[in-house]
Amino acid sequence: MRVQMGDTWYPILSYDDAGFDVALQTAPKLRGLVEIHEGPRLLRSVLIVATEPVGTVMRYTFKRATAARTTAPLDYVRSGDEPLGYLASK
């Protein structure tokens, strides 16, 4: 798991619903909007705030976290009774 800020990647040491930890020697004071990836897959876009370093790790907490979507958002409400497909006529 890793965090991306701009074009730079930092490995995540631990991750939970409230935030994540990054090694203090590898990460600068990150803040703002970053992306969290697991391998090539985007998990979340998060707005973060740095807290105090604890030992050799820096803790970042989420102010906002948005899960990545695998489909495009709809701009209408589905009724549920629309056809699944159409048959071609001859």
Q: Per the confidence metrics, is the pTM higher than 0.85?
A: no
Asked if the model's pLDDT at residue 83 lies above 80, the reply is no
pLDDT at residue 1, rounded to an integer: 93
Asked if the model's pLDDT at residue 80 lies above 80, the reply is no
What residue spans define the domains of the chain?
2-67
pLDDT at residue 78, rounded to an integer: 75
Report pLDDT digits (tens) over 19-76. Answer: 999 998 887 778 899 999 999 899 999 999 988 888 999 999 999 998 888 777 778 7
Q: CB-hemisphere CA count at 13 Å for 29?
A: 5
